[in-house]
Chain A
Amino acid sequence: MQDAIKPRDANEVAEAIASAAANAKRLELVGHGTKRELGRSAQTDVTLDLSALSGITLYEPEELVLSARAAMPISEIEKTLEASNQELAFEPMDYGPLLNKAPGEGTIGGAIAAGLSGPRRIKAGAARDFMLGVSAVSGRGEIFKAGGRVVKNVTGYDLPRLLAGSWGTLAAMTDITLKVLPRAEDCATVLVFGLTDSRASEAMSAAMGSSCEVSAAAHLPQFCAEKIAELKSPGKSVTALRLEGISQSVAYRKMKLEELLRSFGELGALDANASRAFWKNIRDVAPFAGSAARPVWKISTTPSLAPEIAAGISAITAAHYYYDWAGGLLWLEMPEDKPQDGVVRTALAGRGHATLIRASASARASAEVFEPLDPVRAALSQRLKLSFDPNGVLNPGRIYPED
């Protein structure tokens, strides 16, 4: 274990980072440490433990706004929101089960830094879409703020959104302000059985292109469908479409959606409770939990291209996979311990991006964990990193190798 510092507030975070910059020490930023085995294995000297930065500092349900310190557990935030019938609409996924850790341990800062969003991404948006404001410490050890606490704001560059998905390489967020939304009163899921991948892609596209306001769309080939309890061993593939809202509306749209999908195949349904459990499983990649040795990839691509990409990878590697985001998100599990990044990226051919989510430290050291960039974007990314962190103090090498 390397040395750790545990600042108690933003000023102490600033002091620690300024001191690291002055002494050429590299810091590993950690909240609860649930995603430490995700990303490139970086070489750091000291752990900056941010877990003391906890608490909700502002919550005004009528204003749809919540502020919390960065290491506030998501589970606590969700509990608070639930009491006012609200939620984090981007449905942040929980990597715990997939990464062989306990569920429900993540922090809001970690979710934002990793840009986590769930099945509702296609309708409600991603973590970055809910970022309103931030206070953070740059690699210079300076506390800066950006954004605000209101939804509509174009004052200055949108740095809060930029920090979403930056893996702690630009700044250490200390305070985060998010837009929150009302929780849907009711939900239901329409199932279609036995579709091929390409036919499922068409079905999801038809549903998304209808006025049914589908809030999640996934397709599970049989192997993955068998692993989800709510589907009760269907013996064939399952395509699932979620509807959320007030009860009258859900019932009405369910009828419309069933009409639309009847020609595709045999239909089924999940009620509200089964729906909630099912989509949590989809969100948290339940089909690939509990097989820790096998590498898992997350691919974001154009929805209609996904079946071809999945087939290309699977033909060579016999990987198992399923689709979320109406096909735009592919989760793949490799059958052996090799990540086979060459195969994955050849099949993807630049039509989106692939991230190695689960792999051993040695595999993550030898494979490109994040999608490699072309030289112009790589140089720009490097300049952006330096504009926040000129001495390379914050999570160096977490996304891209250091020169």
Chain B
Amino acid sequence: MVAMPAPDRAVLDRREKIVSALREIVPGEGVIANEIAMRPYESDGLTAYRQLPMVVVLPETTAQVSKVLSYCYENGIKVVPRGAGTSLSGGALPLADGVLLGLGKFNKVLEIDYPNRAVIAQPGVTNLGITKAVEGKGFYYAPDPSSQIACTIGGNVAENSGGVHCLKYGLTTNNVLGVEMVLITGEIVRFGGKHLDAEGYDFLSIIIGSEGLLGVVTEVTVRILKKPETARALLVGFPTSEAAGDCVAKIIGAGIIPGGMEMMDKPAIHASEAFVKAGYPLDVEALLIVELDGPEAEVDHLIERVSKIAEDCGSTTLRISNNEEERLKFWAGRKAAFPAVGRISPDYYCMDGTIPRAKLPLVLAKMREFSEKYGLLVANVFHAGDGNLHPLILYDANKEGELQRAEDFGNDILRLCVEVGGVLTGEHGVGVEKRDLMPAMFNKIDLDQQLRVKCAFDDKGLLNPGKVFPELHRCAEMGRMHVHGGKTAFPDLPRF
């Protein structure tokens, strides 16, 4: 288990005073200080970690957020922002000496601008809520994390959420046009808007995916797209994962970018089929779902080309959806893969590495070795188009030592992802979960540069400490520049 920073006694001793000061800012039920009522906030989607916050604050206006943050800044109190709490990496895990700042009451769509294809929403609006608000006119918001029914757009901004359509339509960072954000000092600032590109530095780049460490987002402007005219899917089975991987590479090599391209391995196929009976073939080692979307003429043509490629790659089963019902059925098994695995194991641990696609067979083979070593089963679902791998490690938390073994297994997988040229997390975030693995990917200089960026926003380190960065440093130390005056190798300049 990853350790959180030790609580500050001096802050805890002032708890009552802090609670009443916060009540002055957010009246009524907006401040929750009793243990039972705070219980629902003690963890997020990474349920292995639990911690009651010092106090929960649920502001309703940007002005309240600003006052809460400036109060916390002046009084040295830590703040953990939270959307719907669906993070799978512990990004919203509370701190014993911290304010848990819930943005759930910011739940309105503020403006729908069809001529400019933009929606302005408060951060507590769900991802699906944005699409629901505009689908009547045939529009949608493209990034679609699997938790989209519950997760909020504010949380999506914090985590740079992806989904199954990323390869073609991008991540959150490619679909957000602007934000209003409150800095830890209480200052309210806007970046972007309905126009494109940043004026000055592209702050949106680092705010999106900053996991609540840089500020609290209070408004989000996203671009919306017209729904594709049609979508059709292929369900293709292969005798080996190598053949399936080869097929993915050949599809992309042929210049085809499918709307979605998902792969499942045998354990995942069997678990899903037993759960939702989507009609998946059970005698294959790997199953590919390829979805093509766009104008009908294009989709029909591409379905043929992809079928041909799949056959050339040795597919043993191939079905093509002929209507919307069939297409959704193909997806039903994939979408239910996590709960399906949950049915066959008391607990599972979901990993989130990304690898260069060509390394898939190697990574799967290694994973089978790890599986034997740790004595735990693993099922794999894979966003094959963009290389994002979700191994689900099956374990039983009630059995002595299994959680630890599952975590060690997971860490081995993530280190492997980095070794083959990939990354620790594709879409779930670093949070608490992968914090201590950051040095597997970044050296001290890399991490220090990121920490200095953090310091530019939060010089006291009050926003979501204990997440993302394995070591906390005081910003004053980070700012020092160690120039060994005259001792650099080449002190005089023009010389090369």
Q: A-side interface residues toward B, CB under 8 Å?
A: 3-8, 12, 15-16, 18-23, 25, 45-46, 60-65, 85-86, 115, 117, 121-122, 125-126, 128-129, 138, 140-146, 148-159, 161-162, 164-166, 170, 181-183, 185, 202, 205, 208-213, 245-246, 248-249, 251-253, 256, 300-304, 325, 328-329, 351-353, 370-371, 373-374, 376-377, 380-381, 383-384, 386-388, 390-391, 399-400
Contacts and interface: CB of A to CB of B under 8 A. Distances in A.
Given A150-B355, A252-B295, 13 more contacts: A46-B494, A60-B356, A63-B252, A145-B446, A150-B387, A153-B354, A159-B453, A165-B197, A205-B115, A249-B297, A256-B295, A352-B193, A377-B191
A30 to B, nearest CB: 14
Interface string B251-262: 011011100000
Contacts of A46: 493-494
Interface of B: 114-117, 138-139, 159-160, 162, 166-167, 170-171, 173-174, 183, 187-189, 191, 193-203, 205-206, 208-210, 226-229, 249-250, 252-253, 255-257, 294-298, 301-302, 354-358, 383, 386-388, 421-430, 434, 438, 441-442, 445-447, 449-450, 452-457, 468, 479, 481, 483-486, 488-496
A377 B489 contact: no
Contact of A387 (B447, B455, B491): B455
A304 B486 CA distance: 57
A59 B295 CA distance: 31
B493 A25 contact: yes
A249 B298 contact: yes
Contacts of A86: 255
Contacts of A60: 356, 358
A150 B228 CA distance: 26
B196 A155 contact: no
Contact of B494 (A4, A185, A301): A4
Nearest to A183: B255
Contacts of A5: 493-496
Given A143-B445, A149-B356, A152-B166, A248 B301 contact: yes
B430 A155 contact: yes
B202 A164 contact: yes
A23 B358 contact: no
27 contacts: A4-B494, A19-B490, A22-B485, A60-B356, A64-B252, A65-B356, A115-B198, A125-B170, A125-B174, A145-B442, A149-B421, A151-B166, A151-B167, A152-B427, A155-B424, A155-B438, A156-B447, A156-B468, A159-B206, A162-B201, A182-B255, A202-B115, A212-B295, A246-B302, A256-B295, A302-B194, A377-B191
B196 A126 contact: yes
B197 A63 contact: no
Contacts of A142: 445, 449
B425 A153 contact: yes
Contacts of A253: 295
B313 to A, nearest CB: 13
Nearest to B188: A376
Contacts of B166: 151-152
A3 to B, nearest CB: 4
B196 A328 contact: yes
B301 A146 contact: no
Nearest to A378: B200
Given A155-B423, A376-B189, A381 B200 contact: yes
Given A156-B442, A303-B116, A388 B494 contact: no
A205 B210 CA distance: 33
A150 B356 contact: yes
Contact of B116 (A185, A205, A213): A205
Contacts of A353: 195, 197, 199
Given A3-B493, A157-B450, A122 B196 contact: yes
Nearest to A3: B494
A376 B298 contact: no
Contacts of A158: 160, 173, 205-206, 208-209
Contacts of B188: 376
A371 B139 CA distance: 32
Nearest to A136: B449
Contacts of A7: 496
A158 B226 CA distance: 28
B456 A303 contact: no
B247 to A, nearest CB: 11
Given A154-B159, A154-B430, A156-B438, A121 B227 contact: no
B407 to A, nearest CB: 18
Contact of A126 (B197, B200, B249): B197
> Residue among B139, B195, B484 with the most chain A CB within 10 A?
B195
Which 9 pairs show the lowest CB-CB distances between chains A and B? A182-B255, A161-B205, A249-B298, A353-B199, A152-B426, A383-B456, A387-B452, A3-B494, A62-B249
Contact of B200 (A205, A302, A373): A373
A246 B386 CA distance: 22
